[in-house]
Amino acid sequence: MCGIVGYVGQKQALEIVVAGLRRLEYRGYDSAGVAVVSGEELVVRKKAGKLVNLETLLGSDPMPDSTTGIGHTRWATHGGPTDSNAHPHVSEDGTVAVIHNGIIENFAELRAELNAAGVSLSSETDTEVVAHLLALELPAADRDLPEAMRRVCRRLEGAFTLVALDREQPDLVVGARRNSPLVVGVGQGENFLASDVAAFVDHTREALELGQDQVVILTPTSVTVTDFDGEPAAVRPFTVDWDASAAEKGGFDLFMLKEIAEQPRAVADSLRGRITRDSRIQLDETNLDEAALRAITKVVVIACGTAAHAGMVAKYAIEHWTRVPVEVELASEFRYRDPIVGPDSLVIAISQSGETMDTLMALRYAKAQGAHTLAICNTVGSTIPRESDGVLYTYAGPEIAVASTKAFLTQIIAAYLVGLYLAQVRGTMFEDEIRGVLAELDDMPSKVDLVLDTTEPVRALARELAGATSVLFLGRHVGFPVALEGALKLKELAYMHAEGFPAGELKHGPIALIEEGVPVIVIVPSPRGRAVLHDKIVSNIQEVRARGALVVAIAEEGDESITPYAEHIIRIPAVPTLMQPLVATVPLQAFACEMATAKGHDVDQPRNLAKSVTVE
C-alpha cells in the first residue's frame, strides 16, 4: 500500500508532488522519493523513513525547476525500508524513472532474465525490474513510452500501479494499473495521477477512474487512456465531493472506518502470490526448512491483544489440518512460566507492528531455547521479523487506527497459510483437500465485502446501546476468540466493561452477570459445521434470555433457529466453519467503532493506548 503522485503542467512539479505525498503518507512511510525531468535529465531524490526525511534532503540538496514529476511514499513489501529500496527506481542507462504500488509476482524470473542480459540491479525490490524493462523496450517502441509501458505490462503478473517518466520526453507522464488503485486528476493546463484523489483534490475535483489493465498518458493538455494492447479504453469521470481535510482518510471520517472497509483488499493482497497455479502453497519468504517442519512436535503462538486472538482462531485450523498441537500464549506471560519449547517447536510470533516488546522478548526467549521461529507481521523490516528465522508478511497496508481491524483478518489468513503449508509438507492433507480450503480462502474477500454492505443495522444498534454499562460476548469453537476480539474492541474504543466467554463456560459462574437488559452478543456457529456446537449455543441463548438478557445474534443467512430467541439478528454470509471468524468479526468492529463515535470518543487514538506497545 504505497502513495503515488504524478504531475505534468505549468507549475513547479516538485512542490505539488511533495504536497500530494504528504496527503498520502498514511499509505506508507517506510521511505519517500521524487523524480523530475529537467533539461533532458532525470533528477531523483529519495530517502528511507518518513516524508520529512526526504524534505530535509530536498532542503540540503535542492532539485532543479521542472513542470513534470512523480513521487512515492513506500510501504515496503520486497526489500527493507532503505535508501536504495526507496522509489523512484531508475533504469541502468538513466533514461527512465518508475514508481510502483503493489506486488509483481513474477519479479524473480524477470530479475533473472535481466541479470542474464547483463543488467545489474541495485535494489532488493520487485519494482526495479520495471525500470530496466521499460528502458530496454523504448528503442523497439520508437522511444514511445506509452507503447513501452504496454509491452512491459503485458509481461507482468500480480498487482501493480506504475507511473513512469522518460528523460527525453518532458511534459509526459505515463501510468498503468492492474489490481491496484490509480486515479487521474483533470486540471486546466495540468493533469495529475495519484493513488487516491487526496493527493490532488486541492487543485482539481474533476477526476477519472481508471479500469483494469489500462495505460494512461498525461500531457499538460491531454489525457489518453488505452488498454494494454493499445486500444482506446473507456474511463469513468467523476467529481470529488470530499473536502481536503477528509482527504488523508480517503474520504472516510476515521482511519478505523477506512481500514474496516479495506479488509476485502487486505485479505486478497495477503493471499496473492502465495498459491501456485497448481494450488500448492508457496511461502518462500518463510525460510522454513521442510525437514524441520516435518520434525516439529508442537506449534506455539506468541502474541498480544488482537494478534493473540488471531492466533487462537488459527489454533483450531492448524490442529484440524496438521494434528500438531498448538499452544497460544500471551507473550507477556510466556517466558515467565518456564515454557517447554525447544528445537522440536515452531514458535510463531504474530504482530502487526513488529515492535511489540512483550512479543519480541518472548521471541528472543524461544530462540534461546532453540525453537524454530516464524513471524507473521504487517510491517516489513520491523524488529520481530528481523529477529525471526522466517517471516510471512501480511499485506494489509499501514494500519493507522490504534484498534486493529484489517491486521486481524490478515493475521488469520497468514496463520491459515502456515497451517496449510505444514499440512502440505507433513502430508496430513491431500492436495485436493488443500485446494478446497484455498478455494474457500479465495472466496473470502467477496464474503467480507457482503458484510461491509450490511453494517448499518449494527451501527444503529450500537447507537441504541450506547448507554449500556456492560456487554457480554459469547462464542464457541472459532467463535470464542471472535467473542474475545469483539469485547476487546469495545473495551478499547467505548471504554466500557465488555467480556468474551466461551459459551459453555457461562453456567460455571459468568451467568450470574445476566440481569434484565444486559446486552449479550452471540456469535452463532454455522448449523452446517458441527451441528452440536450450533445446538448448544442455541441453548446458551435460551439460558441468558430466560434471565432477561438482550440477545444480539451474529448468525449466518438462512439460520432461522435462533429467530425466536434473539432481539436482534445480524446476518453474515454462510461460510465454512473455519472461515466464519473472517466474516463474524466485521460487525463487531463496526459495532465498537459506532458505539465509541456515539460516545464522542477519539476512535482512531483511544485514551491510554498506543498503536505499538514498545515497552514491557
Least distance from ligand AGP to the Cβ atom of residue 382, Å: 9
Residue 236's alpha-carbon distances to 22, 37, 161, 475, 576, in angstroms, are 26, 29, 18, 45, 37
- Residue of the chain from 403, 434, 490, 595 that contacts ligand AGP (CB under 6 A): 403
Q: Between 119 and 401, whose beta carbon lies closer to ligand AGP?
A: 401
Least distance from ligand AGP to the Cβ atom of residue 101, Å: 23
Under rule CB under 6 A, residue 589 binds ligand AGP: no
Residue with cell 467480507: 448
Q: Are 487 and 500 in contact (CB under 8 A)?
A: yes
Under rule CB under 6 A, residue 383 binds ligand AGP: no
Q: What cell was used for 418?
A: 502456515
Concerning whether 593 is annotated as a catalytic residue, the answer is no
Q: Which residues pair with 227 in a beta bridge?
A: 214
Residue 313's alpha-carbon distances to 317, 352, 474, 533, 572, in angstroms, are 7, 16, 15, 16, 18
Q: Between 8 and 377, whose beta carbon lies closer to ligand AGP?
A: 377
Under rule CB under 6 A, residue 605 binds ligand AGP: no
Q: Which of the stretches 31-39, 144-152, 301-309, 444-452 binds ligand AGP when contact is defined by CB under 6 A?
A: 301-309
Q: What are phi and psi of 266, to 5 degrees?
A: -60, -40
Beta strands in 304-459 (DSSP E): 326-330, 345-351, 372-377, 390-393
- Tell me how many degrees the CA angle 265-271-275 measures, rounded to the nearest 5: 145
Q: Between 470 and 612, whose beta carbon lies closer to ligand AGP?
A: 612
Q: What cell was used for 392?
A: 510471512
Under rule CB under 6 A, residue 388 binds ligand AGP: no
Give the binding-site size for ligand AGP (rule: CB under 6 A). 15
Least distance from ligand AGP to the Cβ atom of residue 136, Å: 41
Alpha helices in 186-271 (DSSP H): 255-261, 263-271
Under rule CB under 6 A, residue 612 binds ligand AGP: yes
Q: Which of the stretches 115-123, 277-285, 346-354, 575-583 binds ligand AGP when contact is defined by CB under 6 A?
A: 346-354
Q: What are phi and psi of 102, to 5 degrees?
A: 130, -160
CB burial of 70-82 (b: ≥16 within 10 Å; e: otherwise) equals bbbbbbbbbbbbb
Residue with cell 505444514: 422
Q: What cell was used for 260?
A: 474496516
One-letter amino acid at 596 equals A
- Residue of the chain from 73, 169, 191, 306 that contacts ligand AGP (CB under 6 A): 306
Concerning whether 377 is annotated as a catalytic residue, the answer is no
- Residue of the chain from 304, 362, 458, 487 that contacts ligand AGP (CB under 6 A): 304
Q: Which of the stretches 15-23, 397-405, 497-505, 521-529 binds ligand AGP when contact is defined by CB under 6 A?
A: 397-405
Residues 464-493, one symbol each (x = binds ligand AGP by CB under 6 A, - = not), give: ----------------------------x-
- Residue of the chain from 38, 404, 424, 577 that contacts ligand AGP (CB under 6 A): 404
Under rule CB under 6 A, residue 85 binds ligand AGP: no
Distance, CA of 52 to CA of 57 (rounded, Å) = 9
Q: Which of the stretches 70-78, 316-324, 347-355, 388-396 binds ligand AGP when contact is defined by CB under 6 A?
A: 347-355
- Tell me how many degrees the CA angle 557-561-564 measures, rounded to the nearest 5: 110
Give the nearest residue (CB) to ligand AGP: 305
DSSP symbols for 435-464:
HHHHHHHHTHHHHHHHHHTT-HHHHHHHHH
Q: What are phi and psi of 166, to 5 degrees?
A: -120, 125
Under rule CB under 6 A, residue 54 binds ligand AGP: no
Under rule CB under 6 A, residue 91 binds ligand AGP: no
**Footprint of ligand AGP on 356-375 (CB under 6 A):** 356, 359
Q: Between 264 and 385, whose beta carbon lies closer to ligand AGP?
A: 385
Give me the active site residues, please.
2, 611
State the residues that interact with ligand AGP by CB under 6 A.
304-307, 351-353, 356, 359, 402-404, 492, 612-613
